[in-house]
Chains A and B, each alone.
Chain A
Amino acid sequence: GESVGLHLPTLSVQEGDNSIINCAYSNSASDYFIWYKQESGKGPQFIIDIRSNMDKRQGQRVTVLLNKTVKHLSLQIAATQPGDSAVYFCAEPAQAGTALIFGKGTTLSVSS
């Protein structure tokens, strides 16, 4: 069945460092992935997405890399800031245009 998951439950970095958050998926037919950020007491917030016809997509300070060969994607945050402290989830649609299947989440802690 479909599943997404993350390698590490927690990641601690210093302000200004680059952060890399990983996610593995099991369904080779998965064709769309999304990264969400959830701050304490809030709902998840869309960060960036990527389709399977791409290997890389960049946003503001964030880059998502997709390696379909090993079914792995990562979220890179450049110059990490204290405001980036949150739980990060990768997710994919259960079916096209439907609700999402979320991975387990990585808690990013940024110290200044």
Chain B
Amino acid sequence: SAVISQKPSRDICQRGTSLTIQCQVDSQVTMMFWYRQQPGQSLTLIATANQGSEATYESGFVIDKFPISRPNLTFSTLTVSNMSPEDSSIYLCSAFTGDSYNEQFFGPGTRLTVL
């Protein structure tokens, strides 16, 4: 198994500012992903964080708004840029520690509120 931690666990931010969320895995992993979960909703994939190259974004998400870094096999960051109230969500990272989906683990999430 893997333990995934995220920082911060929650934050309240002002419109127009940016927030960087950190995701740390306690072991090296092959793939890392970032999801968004709006209040009372399901999870939506933002992007795949690729180690050593640019992230792969899903439709509706762009690098200028959600820049992602993955400098090594245990760490990734997601920045929510130029925030608006519509960005208020829970942001979760996940990681594969092996080849099976029972080896995919999720972090506890970062609860973001934008005023």
Query: Would B106 and A45 count as touching, CB distance under 8 A?
Result: yes
State which residues 89-112 of A face B: CB under 8 Å. Answer: 89, 93-94, 97-105
Task: Decide yes or no: A49 and B101 within 8 Å by CB, A41-B108, A42-B109 being known contacts.
Answer: yes
CA distance A89 to B101 in the complex (A): 14
Query: Would A99 and B45 count as touching, CB distance under 8 A?
Result: yes
Query: Would A43 and B101 count as touching, CB distance under 8 A?
Result: no
Q: Which residues of B contact A98 (CB under 8 A)?
A: 31, 48
Min distance, Cβ A86 to any Cβ of chain B, angstroms: 13
Chain B: number of interface residues, binned into ranges = 20 to 34
CA distance A97 to B4 in the complex (A): 20
- Is A75 positioned at the interface, with any CB of B under 8 Å from its CB? no
Against A, the Cβ 8 Å flags (1 = close, 0 = not) of B35-76 are 100000111110010000000000000000000000000000
Q: How many residues of A contact B (CB 8 A)?
A: 21
CA distance A41 to B105 in the complex (A): 15
- Is B99 positioned at the interface, with any CB of A under 8 Å from its CB? yes
Min distance, Cβ A55 to any Cβ of chain B, angstroms: 19
Q: Which residues of A contact B48 (CB under 8 A)?
A: 98-99
Task: Decide yes or no: A49 and B102 within 8 Å by CB, A43-B92, A99-B33 being known contacts.
Answer: yes
Min distance, Cβ A42 to any Cβ of chain B, angstroms: 5
State which residues 2-28 of A face B: CB under 8 Å. Answer: none
A-B contact pairs, 21 of them (CB 8 A): A32-B101, A42-B108, A42-B109, A43-B92, A43-B105, A44-B106, A46-B101, A46-B104, A46-B105, A49-B101, A49-B102, A89-B43, A93-B101, A98-B48, A99-B31, A99-B45, A100-B101, A101-B45, A102-B43, A103-B42, A105-B42
